[in-house]
Structure 1
Amino acid sequence: MIPYGRHQVSSADVDAVVDVLENQFLTQGEQVPLFEQALCGYAGASYAVALNSGTSALHVACLALGVGPGDTVWTSTNSFVASANCARYCGADVGFVDIDPVTRNISLEALAAKLDQARRQGTLPKVLVVVHYGGLSCDMESIRQLTHADGIRLIEDASHALGGKYQGRAVGDSSWSDATIFSFHPVKSITSAEGGAVLTRDSELARRARLYASHGVTRDTDLMEGESEGPWYYQQVALGYNYRLSDLHAALGRSQLNRVDHFIQARAERARRYTEALEHLPLRLPREPVYARSAWHLYPVELMEHDRARVYDAMIARGIGVNVHYIPIHLQPYYRRLGFQVGDFPVAEAFYQRVLTLPLFPELSADEQEQVIHALTESLS
């Protein structure tokens, strides 16, 4: 079976982890801050807080922006559930925005209309979580222009997009947002086995994110109540969580980051091969707008004339590990119980009915990709 995604681990990655096992701290030693520095250097951000997952990163970013009960967070319904759950963890309400049929990201037109309605009703969100679906950055400057006057804070959910570009700059520099989130799950641009990060230009946001990620406990005397009792002393000054990344994971992530451009180039080459080979078929293929270069986490195609379930089964029977990204979040039973219904976001719902994700990863060989192309062509014939 050819999987839809697969990580690549080199001997250098193994050596980096073994060095920690044999010679360094396993949890919070020098590797975590070194990984954070490397992330800032690569993405162009000022601060990075490494965490144990992208979901944790979304949660602490919301907490750091003050999201709580009585607030509302909007996001794209075309995403994994974590993009919305982060608000619910904070006790906030969730709203969704429909997608653009070409980019599959948040629709600027739908966002503008929803903002106009919210202004009239006095229901504007505190935060908008902007999802870069499949590795393609949203048009962040335009989104910032739509939301800035209302004081809406922006979190880029770039879990798919490490290595992507927006207006020629690395996704993650947070020029148009308050914070950017990365995920280092095994099928993402790089892996730390599990892990994530918050990147920002805001020192206070970074400080709060780090505090929430580590039990709300600090040894910083500036944050304490009263005087320190000695070098051993710490205080819990907020209700935080154990979301810290270990040095083992950080060593793997830091080693992988050295090859991220190679990984993205390999993904882009395979995406181009798919596009060239599949253009004649009744499919809607992913495209890059002029303002962005995708990290190509996913290669999702839309079946315009065929039943998706039948094609999915046919591909699996041929040994091709296709997948579906995503079931719209608002259609999940948990969110249906909050009042969302079928028909609320028709573009995302129609996309879900047609989408099929093809295998795409750096070590996908030419022969394997030809098998995918041949199997899809046969399944559509």
Structure 2
Amino acid sequence: MKTAPLARTEMLPYGKQAIDEDDIQAVVDVLRSDYITQGPAIDSFERRVADYVGARYAIAFCNGTAALHAACYAAGVGQGDEVITTPITFLASSNCALYMGARPVFVDIKLDTYNIDPDRLAHAITSRTKAIIPVDFTGQPVEIDRIAELARERGLVVIQDAAHSLGSSYCHRKVGALADMTMFSFHPVKHVTSGEGGVIVTDNEHYYKRLQLFRSHGMTRDTTLMQKNDGPWYYEMIDLGYNFRMTDMQAALGASQMKKLDGFVRRRREIAARYSEAFSDVEGLIVPYQHPNAQSSWHLYILRWDEKYFNDGRNRAFQALRDRLIGVHVHYIPIYKQPYYRSLGYSYVDCPNAEEYYQTALTLPLFPSMTDQDVRDVINNVKEVAVILKND
């Protein structure tokens, strides 16, 4: 395949954090304070996230995976239960069920939104189903109204995996105020970062207390939960928990970044709109569809390469664009294809849409600090590669 001369001198990544001097100073201030862990910066960060999304409580964890694990614990997920989720997500969305001894059940996606299909989800619920973990893939919220109704009818807990969707809304309500529990991730490629970090938001006091317990060894100083009280120093371990705490350094960075979230989201939406406008009239390229009730915060921009027009198009486009220093990526391999999951008996999973999606999906660079020239580079190179692949 012929390629054009490289226009760039360094790789443009698919995602990247945006750290400024205010963020650095916030971390330095914590380092100079009395507390670098289990201090006041945690409460401040939690309050900022809760207030932003309109939730009563927020509980910070060392990472998003730990947060999902804790949410399954709070929901009472246990041995022999089933937890429904999507196969097109990161491993943590289903691993959290395995951690609790439950079995993940994978339900196919819709080929327009790439999110879990509520109609198929309804047919997957059994007497063993305990929870549903729908994932706001790429930043587009799931059809949470339909999923929540199904859950209410059957007494299930909804844990919304919103790792991609901080700043998104559904029916003009912020993600974080829509499910029983919602998880946000603060990994460096997400909308805002705390280095590593995760938060669960909820309005439910029972879940809040269980989440707090789980992240700190199952240990409490709450006298209403203890069997006795020997004095101000006294604590009791009343369940088996983990050390999933976030540090104050992470929390300070996260709180500083939260002040910039709306600006970051605006820039992501601008870039996504430019991509969709540029590629919508290119034959064979499928731009993302946005559900009319969903306002995405655009963690990822997925461009699909229709196999009717491109022979092995996604794979060839991946290499051609990487050769041109456009750091495209693929999100995600269906989880059930992983060797560990196959060893658990997931040798055949009926998710044809997920299979088709995986064969055609390519993630384009998208992050707030991209320059207008970066955006033009992506657009021009994608268009050139599309022409070459169709004529090759």
What is the TM-score of this pair, normalised by structure 1? 0.96
Give me the whole-angstrom Cα distance separating, in 2, the residues matched to 1:4 and 1:291.
27
Once the two structures are TM-superposed, the CA of residue 41 in structure 1 deviates from its matched residue by 0.6
Give me the whole-angstrom Cα distance separating, in 1, the residues matched to 2:356 and 2:342.
18
- Tell me the equivalent position of 1:336: 342
Secondary structure in 2 matching 1:49: strand
Letter aligned with residue 156 of structure 2: I
The answer to whether the 8 A contact 2:162-2:183 is kept is yes
Give me the whole-angstrom Cα distance separating, in 2, the residues matched to 1:243 and 1:343.
33
**How big is each residue's C-alpha offset from its partner over 1:177-206, in whole Å with a ceiling of 9 and x where there is no partner?**
210000000000100000000100001101
Secondary structure in 2 matching 1:314: helix
- Tell me the equivalent position of 1:302: 304
- Tell me the equivalent position of 2:83: 73
The answer to whether the 8 A contact 1:343-1:349 is kept is no
Secondary structure in 1 matching 2:224: helix
Give me the whole-angstrom Cα distance separating, in 2, the residues matched to 1:334 and 1:290.
37
Give me the whole-angstrom Cα distance separating, in 2, the residues matched to 1:96 and 1:230.
49
Secondary structure in 2 matching 1:197: strand
- Tell me the equivalent position of 1:354: 360
Letter aligned with residue 255 of structure 1: S
- Tell me the equivalent position of 1:216: 218
Give me the whole-angstrom Cα distance separating, in 1, the residues matched to 2:166 and 2:28.
25
Match of 2:54 among 40, 44, 56: 44
Match of 1:126 among 123, 130, 138: 130
The answer to whether the 8 A contact 2:302-2:364 is kept is yes
- Tell me the equivalent position of 1:98: 108
Give me the whole-angstrom Cα distance separating, in 2, the residues matched to 1:173 and 1:351.
29
Matched, 1:370 2:376: yes
Give me the whole-angstrom Cα distance separating, in 2, the residues matched to 1:61 and 1:355.
30
Give me the whole-angstrom Cα distance separating, in 2, the residues matched to 1:114 and 1:22.
53
Match of 1:312 among 303, 311, 318: 318
Matched, 1:156 2:160: yes
Counting matched residue pairs gives 372
Secondary structure in 2 matching 1:222: coil
Match of 2:209 among 207, 216, 224: 207
- Tell me the equivalent position of 2:185: 183
In structure 2, relative to structure 1, the CA distance for the partners of 1:366 and 1:310 (3 Å cut) is same
Letter aligned with residue 225 of structure 1: Q
Give me the whole-angstrom Cα distance separating, in 1, the residues matched to 2:242 and 2:385.
48
Matched, 1:225 2:232: no
- Tell me the equivalent position of 1:259: 260
The answer to whether the 8 A contact 2:106-2:349 is kept is no
User: Which ranges of structure 2 fall in alignment gaps of 5 or more residues?
Assistant: 1-10, 388-392
- Tell me the equivalent position of 2:45: 35
Give me the whole-angstrom Cα distance separating, in 1, the residues matched to 2:122 and 2:159.
18
Give me the whole-angstrom Cα distance separating, in 2, the residues matched to 1:185 and 1:43.
18
Once the two structures are TM-superposed, the CA of residue 283 in structure 1 deviates from its matched residue by 1.2
- Tell me the equivalent position of 1:136: 140
- Tell me the equivalent position of 2:4: none
Once the two structures are TM-superposed, the CA of residue 287 in structure 1 deviates from its matched residue by 2.1
Give me the whole-angstrom Cα distance separating, in 2, the residues matched to 1:230 and 1:62.
33
Letter aligned with residue 217 of structure 2: H
Once the two structures are TM-superposed, the CA of residue 254 in structure 1 deviates from its matched residue by 0.3
The answer to whether the 8 A contact 1:328-1:348 is kept is yes
Give me the whole-angstrom Cα distance separating, in 2, the residues matched to 1:109 and 1:233.
51
The answer to whether the 8 A contact 1:20-1:26 is kept is yes
Match of 2:176 among 172, 175, 187: 172
Secondary structure in 2 matching 1:126: strand
Q: Relative to structure 2, which stretch is displaced further, 228-237 or 357-366?
A: 228-237
Once the two structures are TM-superposed, the CA of residue 107 in structure 1 deviates from its matched residue by 0.8
What is the TM-score of this pair, normalised by structure 2? 0.93
Give me the whole-angstrom Cα distance separating, in 2, the residues matched to 1:140 and 1:358.
27
Match of 1:16 among 6, 23, 26: 26
User: Which ranges of structure 1 fall in alignment gaps of 5 or more residues?
Assistant: none
- Tell me the equivalent position of 1:268: 269
Give me the whole-angstrom Cα distance separating, in 2, the residues matched to 1:340 and 1:346.
15
**How big is each residue's C-alpha offset from its partner over 1:258-280, in whole Å with a ceiling of 9 and x where there is no partner?**
01000000000000000111112
Give me the whole-angstrom Cα distance separating, in 1, the residues matched to 2:82 and 2:42.
33
- Tell me the equivalent position of 1:240: 241
In structure 2, relative to structure 1, the CA distance for the partners of 1:250 and 1:339 (3 Å cut) is same
**How big is each residue's C-alpha offset from its partner over 1:194-225, in whole Å with a ceiling of 9 and x where there is no partner?**
00001000011011001000111111111111
Once the two structures are TM-superposed, the CA of residue 318 in structure 1 deviates from its matched residue by 0.2
Report % sequence identity: 45
In structure 2, relative to structure 1, the CA distance for the partners of 1:316 and 1:342 (3 Å cut) is farther
| RMSD between aligned residues | 1.0
Give me the whole-angstrom Cα distance separating, in 1, the residues matched to 2:153 and 2:280.
42
